[in-house]
């Protein structure tokens, strides 16, 4: 394991006791709004039984309530559906101009079931239009047509969803449907997993995210529908991610807000009514920016160090921050932190430029360490006989390390 350290920057009288107890009793009767006004850093009152918030550029969890508790995601499932599609597009295995057909059996099962983009029987629809319908108007029919078009069947596509979940380290999630329609709890996830998924969606596929997310309305076949995202039109910088509702799940929401170089992602789950979800989501987002301050520690494209390479045409490869990274602290506090780099040394060639090959470890007092990905800044081809001989001689000269 390669490790490279980087340094960042007496008793009360009876009268006093009685007064103190009266003060505590009075504090307990102050309304939540007044307590928050007295302490701007306090999070807003949240009635959601499940909640979390993550600062994307630092990886720091700003708030967590039962974040590992499994729950039914309803249409929040569609975040994973779009993520799988984005991954396939990026890998060149799926094109936005490809067309998939609504077959008769799928039409009978999903025509006008829940949220829909009103696909007709035997209609042929591009992947781009299907993604727009899924992301903006939560189209259940669009999800199934996309799933069957990509994988040949819904089970084939959910296998891809669960494979992606494992690759992302989602330990509380299982996907049985591509659209989150009620399935007696076979599909489940957690707030922590949804925050990880949304972060990967945004950071791994920023161009596709900007193209398909953040739209307040969408029109298809002459029918215009509104996005139900409660932040749109109310919260500056809101650009995603997804609402969800079924009678089984209640009202849930994964939100994303970007202001300047800062982005927060948050998850709220289990509301009995949409009005509470909307009100509290907006207040929660504002708290995420007002109560916390970001200090940059690495710019996008910054070289953070180098890693040793074995069996390649080069002996080292630069380690690059793929996006800007921050340390986030409560407003008014000074950021104190240390940085280190970890990777399994030596890295075996070949290495493609942009491959995630190491981690930037950020440690701040009183906080769990955060791992942020570092990528290879250059491609390293597999070496030939001479390169392998060179590596062996160098290893011998270094004492076999």
Render pLDDT for 18-72 as a digit per residue (tens, 0 to 9).
Answer: 333 322 223 333 333 333 333 557 889 999 999 999 999 999 999 999 999 999 9
For 13, the 3-state DSSP assignment is coil
Predicted confidence (pLDDT) per residue in 349-390, tens digit: 999 999 999 999 999 988 899 999 999 999 999 988 776 666
Largest Cα span, the chain: 87
Q: Which residue has 């998939």 as its token pair?
A: 100
Contact 298, 325 (CB under 8 A): yes
Please, how many CA atoms are within 13 Å of residue 341, restricted to the half-sphere of its CB? 22
Predicted confidence (pLDDT) per residue in 83-133, tens digit: 999 999 999 999 999 999 999 999 999 999 999 999 999 999 999 999 999
Q: What is the pLDDT of residue 23?
A: 29
Contact 272, 284 (CB under 8 A): no
Distance, in Å, from the CA atom of 372 to the CA atom of 342, rounded to the nearest integer, reads 10
Q: Which residue has 């990528």 as its token pair?
A: 375
Contact 59, 337 (CB under 8 A): no
Q: What does each C-alpha distance from 350 to 117, 133, 305, 306, 307 come to in angstroms?
A: 45, 40, 19, 16, 14
Can you give the pTM of this predicted structure? Answer: 0.86
Per CATH, the number for 296-397 is 2.60.410.10
Q: For residues 183-205, give the mean pLDDT.
A: 97
Q: What is the pLDDT of residue 11?
A: 36
Three-point CA angle 46, 48, 49, nearest 5°: 120
Distance, in Å, from the CA atom of 115 to the CA atom of 105, rounded to the nearest integer, reads 18
Distance, in Å, from the CA atom of 330 to the CA atom of 326, rounded to the nearest integer, reads 13
Second-level CATH architecture of 50-290? 3-Layer(aba) Sandwich (3.40)
Quickly list H helices, 138-205.
Answer: 140-151, 154-168, 191-204
- Please give the order of strands across the beta sheet that includes 303-310: 2-7, 338-343, 356-363, 370-376, 316-320, 303-310, 347-348
Contact 131, 83 (CB under 8 A): no
The helix (run of H) or strand (run of E) holding residue 208 is helix 206-212
Per domain, the residue ranges of the chain are: 50-290, 296-397
Q: What is the pLDDT of residue 393?
A: 62
Distance, in Å, from the CA atom of 340 to the CA atom of 127, rounded to the nearest integer, reads 42
Contact 66, 184 (CB under 8 A): no
pLDDT above 80 for 3: no
């Amino acid at each position: 394991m390669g490790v490279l350290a980087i340094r960042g920057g007496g008793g009360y009288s009876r009268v006093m006791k009685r007064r103190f107890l009266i003060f505590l009793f009075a504090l307990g009767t102050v309304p939540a709004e007044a307590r928050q006004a007295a302490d701007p850093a306090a999070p807003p009152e949240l009635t959601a039984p499940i909640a979390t918030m993550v600062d994307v550029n630092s990886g720091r969890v700003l708030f967590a309530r039962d974040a590992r508790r499994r729950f039914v995601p309803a249409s929040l499932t569609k975040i994973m559906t779009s993520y799988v599609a984005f991954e396939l597009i990026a890998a060149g295995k799926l094109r936005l101009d490809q067309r998939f057909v609504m077959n008769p059996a799928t039409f009978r099962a999903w025509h006008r079931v829940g949220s829909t983009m009103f696909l007709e029987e035997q209609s042929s629809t591009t992947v781009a239009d299907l993604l727009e319908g899924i992301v903006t108007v939560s189209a259940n029919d669009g999800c199934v047509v996309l799933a069957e078009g990509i994988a040949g069947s819904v089970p084939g596509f959910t296998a891809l969803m669960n494979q992606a979940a494992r690759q992302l380290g989602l330990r509380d999630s299982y996907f049985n449907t591509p659209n989150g329609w009620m399935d007696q709890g076979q599909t489940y996830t957690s707030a922590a997993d949804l925050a990880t998924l949304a972060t990967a969606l945004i950071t791994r596929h920023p161009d596709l995210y900007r193209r398909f997310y953040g739209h307040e309305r969408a029109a298809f076949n002459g029918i215009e529908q509104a996005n139900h995202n409660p932040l749109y039109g109310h919260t500056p910088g809101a650009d995603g991610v997804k609402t969800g509702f079924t009678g089984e799940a209640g009202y849930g929401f994964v939100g994303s807000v970007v202001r300047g170089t800062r982005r927060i992602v948050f998850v709220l789950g289990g509301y009995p009514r949409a009005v509470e979800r909307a009100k509290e989501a907006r207040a929660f987002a504002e708290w995420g920016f007002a109560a916390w301050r970001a200090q940059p520690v690495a710019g996008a494209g910054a070289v953070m160090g180098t890693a040793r390479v074995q069996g390649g045409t080069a002996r080292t490869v630069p380690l690059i921050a793929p996006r800007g990274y921050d340390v986030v602290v409560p407003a008014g506090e000074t950021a104190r932190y240390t940085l280190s780099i970890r990777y399994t040394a030596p890295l075996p060639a070949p290495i493609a430029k942009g491959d995630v090959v190491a981690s930037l470890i950020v440690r701040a007092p009183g906080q769990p360490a955060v791992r942020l990905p570092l990528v290879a800044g250059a491609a390293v081809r597999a070496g030939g006989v001479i390169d392998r001989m060179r590596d062996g001689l160098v290893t011998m000269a270094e004492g076999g390390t």
